[in-house]
């Protein structure tokens, strides 16, 4: 598997919502958890063939409302459909969204990273 990089939203990131209101999302500190194409079987396959797709990891938490749904990391699978995202905090659960252009997203909800 070729090494894939991933993007992490910086802690000082913000978005504008409404009229001049600044919103700073909650981003959990990193950890030693990971998601990959081998856990829990998230290999990107389109019409029976491995494929390139985008994988997004979103924070899923009810305890920190300003953080629920915030993009924590993203990567692209390689042409064999494999990918990996490291550095996830084990104290939280996440939604993993697999996206291939022209197809509906596949979402794995409320998933805990593997160590």
Residue spans per domain, the chain: 1-114
CB 35 within 8 A of CB 44: no
Which CATH number applies to 1-114? 2.60.40.10
**Residue 32: DSSP 8-state:** S
CB 40 within 8 A of CB 34: no
CA-CA distance, 15 to 9, in Å (whole number)? 12
Please list the pLDDT of the chain residue by residue as tens digits (115 residues).
444 444 344 444 444 444 445 556 667 788 999 998 885 566 788 888 888 999 999 999 877 766 788 888 999 999 888 899 999 999 999 999 999 999 999 999 999 999 9
């Amino acid at each position: 598997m070729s090494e894939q990089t991933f993007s992490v939203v910086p802690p000082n990131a913000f978005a504008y919502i409404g009229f001049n209101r600044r919103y700073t999302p909650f981003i959990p500190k990193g950890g030693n958890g990971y998601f990959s194409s081998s856990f829990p079987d998230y290999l990107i396959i389109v019409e029976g063939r491995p494929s390139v797709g985008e994988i997004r990891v979103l924070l899923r938490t009810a305890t920190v409302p300003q953080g629920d749904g915030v993009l924590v990391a993203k990567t692209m699978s390689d042409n064999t459909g494999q990918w990996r995202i490291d550095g996830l905090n084990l104290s939280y659960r996440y939604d993993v969204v697999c996206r291939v252009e022209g197809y509906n997203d596949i979402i794995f909800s409320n998933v805990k990273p593997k160590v």
